[in-house]
Chains A and B, each alone.
Chain A
Amino acid sequence: MKKNNKTTPEGTKDFLFEECLTKRSIEKTVSGVFASRGFNEVITPGFEFYDVFDPDLSGIKQESMYKMTDKSGRIVVMRPDLTLPIARLTATRLQNLPKPIRLYYTQPVYRNCPGLSGRRDETTQAGAELLGAGGIRADLEMISTAVAALGGCLPGFRLELGHAGIFRALADRLPVSDDVREDIRVYIETKNYAALDALLNGLEKSETVSAIRKLPHLFGGEDVFEKAAFLGGDSELSPMLNYLHKIYGLISELGFPGRLMVDLGLVQRNSYYTNIVFSAYVEGFGDAVLFGGRYDSLLAYFGSPMPAIGFAVNIDDISEILIRRKMAPGVRPADVLVHGADGYEVNALDHAGSLAKKGLKCENSVFAGEDEAVAYAKACGIKRVDIVGKKIKTVVCCQ
């Protein structure tokens, strides 16, 4: 019978040498930024109860979760998202800590993506969450942390700001069923202008309908705020727009190697985003590399209501971008190969140890003979071989 022991499952991969080095180096840079700003690392389990990721709350479809059962037959999933486990953790175990609670993580998430599409089923995200605080300072803190984290690994990116409350407020005013409201949300999310217009044409004319019609077109630079001025008279929407404009202005002052954009039509499937949302894009890559926002109603689901804001960075995507642009760190061969002649094996180990203490990258030869050791060094690009016998002889190898 055929054994599946030679390849990895579709959607997974081994990370080797340069790829592994690049991935770890990005993880280190991003978590370094988080740690330097007082966030504390947490590690959550690889699999959790299905209920933590309730599709109605998370917007993650049941079909895209890797599901199993636990010892009692309850449904357990490989985590498809990291904000929800952190919310669970904070609401149930950290709720009495002084606020704000500042946490970060670097962990893989798992999604059962459609087959034969080249998508990663296992992908690492690094992210930070600020729980128990609302307001402009908290929002600024998180967005600027995102900018710092990305700025440390990518040369140029665009940051996009939006406000999840705008669509929600408008949609709630429409006299339609939840199903129709969801259709409208999808049409705006996919900028399906034709389908949106067709649906709205079937509704009674109103200011709300005309505002929703304009929403997916309202994206771009600061000029979007002028174009959205027609929403200014609205008592619910006006403060949201003004807030977004204020944050836009403050972030512009930050001055980062990238540009700022706005999209009022950002209507994420995650119904847990309530206010500000933000994402980042890079030239030449078809997807966002960072996504986040404020989710003030989420922790109530887990039993401890408190405002919260966070974001995640797609480490593997950034890794791929850097490698493609040939900006990734290369794997360096060892500086020295230390070979012990017969009877001098332990002396060789000592010598290698002392070289390592001086900061040299040292390999210990596993070969019986000197010639084999030198041949190996040449093949691996190791430029120096120290032969340890009664004396230490250094051989310099050139390619």
Chain B
Amino acid sequence: MKPLRIALTKGRLEENALSLFEKVGCDCTAARNKGRKLILPVDGGRFEVVLAKAADVITYVEYGVCDLGIVGKDTILEKGGNFFEVMDLGFGKCKFALAGPVGTDFFGGYSAKTVASKYPHVAGNYFESKAMDVKIIKIEGSVELAPLLGLSDAIVDIVETGTTLKENGLEVIEPICGISARLIVNPASMKLRKMEIESLTEKMEHVCKS
């Protein structure tokens, strides 16, 4: 049988994901010393690991070229997709929040507001749930700049400790929802390779709970 292929998100979640595999008993040396290789054998070739940007993890799993993926709930909420979201892995915890310059009365008055975000869909859904008419501008990174430059009244962004916000004179106006790393599975793979996948997920669940 072809090895199960798992797409991991590069960066913030990569270290925790590899640790999790090691705790489950998989040898991840190749994945840790990857060099320029892109498809890495794990546990002596029983699994294959691929490192990709968050949105791409979802794309690969949706199309079935990767059977499983580890990706943040933030990307899942922003991009959506057709897959099974079988586990909350518990790491990479943070939250989405509406933030703005300290002392902003964001909800006051009837003038149209402008909000900058790296996650325009999440922002859009949040304001739709409040029936608020808000102009949303997509910003690719360092979203805190937008209100400081006067581009927007506030931002919708991921907040961990709140230090970045504080350093830039911003504060949380309202928290939106919690985020963490999730395990996603391609539906056809789940049906066709149920035993292998469940054996892996059961071990992962055991490690996550302890």
A pairs with B: yes
Whole-angstrom distance between the Cβ of B108 and the nearest chain A Cβ: 29
Q: Is the CB of A220 within 8 A of B194?
A: yes
Residues in A with CB closer than 8 Å to B87 are: 193-194
In the assembled complex, B186 has its CB within 8 A of some CB on chain A: yes
Q: Which of B22-30, B62-70, B132-140 contacts A (4 or more CB under 8 A)?
A: B62-70
Q: A170 to chain B: which residues have CB within 8 Å? A: none
Are B188 and A285 in contact (CB-based, < 8 A)?
yes
Q: Which residues of the partner chain A approach B85 to less than 8 Å between Cβ atoms?
A: 190-192, 194-195
- Per-position binary interface string of chain A over residues 140-163, scored 1 when its CB falls under 8 Å from any chain B CB and 0 otherwise: 000000000000000000101000
Give complex CA distance A263, B192 in Å.
12
Contact check, A286 vs B65: say whether CB atoms are below 8 A apart.
Answer: yes
Are B191 and A160 neighbours in the complex by a CB distance under 8 Å? yes
CA distance A261 to B85 in the complex (A): 21
Q: State the CA gap A220–B191 with chains docked (Å).
A: 7
Residues in B with CB closer than 8 Å to A194 are 85-88, 182
Residues of B within 8 A of A160 (CB): 191
Q: Judge if B91 is at the interface, Cβ distance under 8 Å.
A: no
Nearest CB of A to B192, in Å: 6
Tell me the bound Cα distance from A263 to B187 in angstroms. Answer: 12
Residues of B within 8 A of A195 (CB): 85
Does A288 make an interface contact (CB < 8 A)?
A: yes
A226 beta carbon closer than 8 Å to chain B: no
Contact of A192 among B86, B189, B190 (CB under 8 A): B86
Residue B83 interfacial (CB < 8 Å): yes
In the complex, whether A287 has a CB less than 8 A from a CB of chain B is yes
A272 interfacial contact with B, CB 8 Å:
no
Residues of A at the B interface (CB closer than 8 Å) are 117-118, 158, 160, 190-195, 219-220, 261, 263, 281-288
CB contacts (< 8 Å) of A190 on chain B: these are: 83-85
Q: Which of B72-114 contact A (CB under 8 A)?
A: 82-88
The answer to whether B18 has its CB under 8 Å from any CB of chain A is no
User: Does A286 lie within 8 Å of B84, measured CB to CB?
Assistant: no
Tell me which residues across on chain B come within 8 A of A287, comparing CB atoms.
Answer: 64, 82, 187-188
B residues with CB within 8 A of A: 59, 62-65, 82-88, 182, 185-192, 194
Q: In whole angstroms, what is the CA distance A118 to B56 when docked?
A: 13
Q: Which residues of A contact B64 (CB under 8 A)?
A: 284-287
- A354 CA to B194 CA, complexed, in Å: 59
B86 touches A286 (CB 8 A): no
CB <8 Å contact, A261 and B191: yes
Q: Which residues of A contact B194 (CB under 8 A)?
A: 219-220
| Contact indicator A286/B188 (Cβ below 8 Å) | yes
Known: A219-B194, A220-B194, A287-B64. A281 touches B188 (CB 8 A): yes
In the bound complex, what is the Cα–Cα distance between A190 and B184 (angstroms)? 9
Closest chain-B Cβ to A31's Cβ sits at a distance in Å of: 25
Contact partners of A219 in chain B: CB under 8 A: 191, 194
Minimal beta-carbon separation of A287 from chain B (angstroms): 6
CB of A262 to closest CB in B, whole Å: 10
Within 8 Å by CB of B190, from A117, A191, A283, A285, lies A191
Q: Which residues of B contact A192 (CB under 8 A)?
A: 84-86
The 5 closest A-B pairs by CB, nearest first: A286-B64, A191-B84, A194-B88, A192-B85, A281-B188
Would you list 6 pairs from A and B whose C-beta atoms are within 8 A, ordered by A residue?
Answer: A158-B192, A160-B191, A190-B85, A261-B191, A282-B188, A288-B188
Cα distance A234–B62 when bound, in Å?
A: 37
| Minimum distance in angstroms from A64 CB to a CB of chain B | 12
The distance in angstroms between the C-alpha atoms of A117 and B194, with both chains bound, is 27
Residues of B within 8 A of A283 (CB): 192
| Docked-complex contact B185 and A286, CB < 8 angstroms | no
- The interface centre, meaning the residue of B64, B82, B186, B188 with most chain A CB atoms within 10 A of its CB, is B188
Find chain B residues with CB under 8 A from A193 CB.
86-87
- A260, chain B: closest CB distance, angstroms: 12
The smallest C-beta distance from B139 to any residue of chain A, in angstroms, reads 19
How far is the CB of A90 from the nearest CB of chain B, in Å? 30
* Residue in A118, A158, A191, A282 whose CB lies within 8 Å of B185: A191
A284, B189: Cα distance in complex, Å: 8
Min Cβ gap A261→B in Å is 6
Return chain B residues, CB-CB under 8 Å to A288: 187-188
Please give, as numbers and ranges, the residues of chain B lying within 8 Å of A284 by CB-CB distance.
64
CB-CB nearest in chain B for A288: B188
Which of B82, B83, B85 gathers the greatest number of chain A CB atoms within 10 Å? B85
Give B205's nearest chain A residue, CB to CB: A193
Other than the known A190-B84, A283-B192, what 20 A-B pairs have Cβ atoms closer than 8 Å?
A: A117-B59, A118-B63, A158-B191, A158-B192, A190-B83, A191-B185, A191-B190, A192-B85, A193-B86, A194-B87, A194-B182, A195-B85, A284-B64, A285-B64, A286-B63, A286-B64, A286-B187, A286-B189, A287-B64, A287-B188
Closest-by-CB residue of A relative to B84 is A191
Write the chain A residue with the least CB distance to B79.
A114
- Nearest to A191 among chain B residues (CB) is B84
Residues in A with CB closer than 8 Å to B187 are: 286-288
Measured CB to CB, the closest approach of chain B to A185, in angstroms, equals 14
In the assembled complex, the Cα of A192 lies from the Cα of B188 at a distance in Å of: 15
Q: B83: which A residues are within 8 A, CB to CB? A: 190
CA separation between A288 and B188, bound complex, in Å?
A: 7
Question: Chain A's nearest CB lies how many Å from the CB of B69?
Answer: 12
Q: Which A residues are CB-close (under 8 A) to B86? A: 191-194
Q: What residue of chain B has the Cβ atom nearest to residue A263's Cβ?
A: B191
A194 to B180, CA, bound (A): 12
Bound-complex Cα distance A118 to B64 (A) = 13
Q: Report whether B186 and A286 are in contact in the complex, using a CB–CB cutoff of 8 Å.
A: yes
Bound CA span A117–B188, Å: 19
